[in-house]
Amino acid sequence: MRTRHIIGISGGKDSAALAIYLTRKREDWRYFRDLAAEAGCSDAAREIETAKQAPEIESFFTDTGKELPEVYEYLEILEKYLDKPIVRLSPFSLVEDDNTAPFDHFLWAEHGGLLPSRHQRWCTYKMKIKPMGLFVGDAPTVNYVGIRADESSRSKLSSLTNVTAVYPFMSDGLVRQDIVSLLEETTGLPKYYSWRSRSGCYFCFFQRKSEWLGLREHHPDLFEKAMRYENETFDPNTGRMYTWMDRMSLAELEEEASSMQAGAEMIASDRQSTWQADLISDHLSDDDRADHACAVCSI
* pLDDT one-digit tens code per residue, 160-172: 789 999 999 999 9
Indicate whether 125 and 266 sit together in one domain: no
* pLDDT one-digit tens code per residue, 222-249: 999 999 999 999 998 898 999 999 989 9
- CA-CA distance, 61 to 8, in Å (whole number)? 6
Indicate whether 30 and 175 sit together in one domain: yes
What integer best gives the mean pLDDT of the chain?
87
Residue 67 forms part of a structural domain: yes
Listed in sequence order, the residues at least 6 apart from 79 whose beta carbon sits closer than 8 Å to its beta carbon are: 85, 86
Indicate whether 225 and 138 sit together in one domain: no
* pLDDT one-digit tens code per residue, 241-286: 999 999 899 999 999 887 656 666 666 666 554 434 444 343 344 5
Residue 240 forms part of a structural domain: yes
Expressed as residue numbers, the domain containing 220 is 209-271
Residue 220 forms part of a structural domain: yes
Farthest-apart Cα atoms in the chain, separation: 67
* pLDDT one-digit tens code per residue, 39-87: 999 999 999 999 999 999 999 999 998 999 999 999 999 999 999 999 9
- Number of domains present in the structure of the chain: 2
Indicate whether 144 and 262 sit together in one domain: no
CB atoms within 10 A of CB 237: 5
- CA-CA distance, 89 to 242, in Å (whole number)? 28
Residue 135 forms part of a structural domain: yes
Indicate whether 86 and 233 sit together in one domain: no
Indicate whether 39 and 85 sit together in one domain: yes
Indicate whether 219 and 173 sit together in one domain: no
CA distances in angstroms from 183 to 175, 188, 256, 269, listed in the order given: 13, 5, 37, 30
Confidence at residue 273, expressed as pLDDT on a 0 to 100 scale:
45
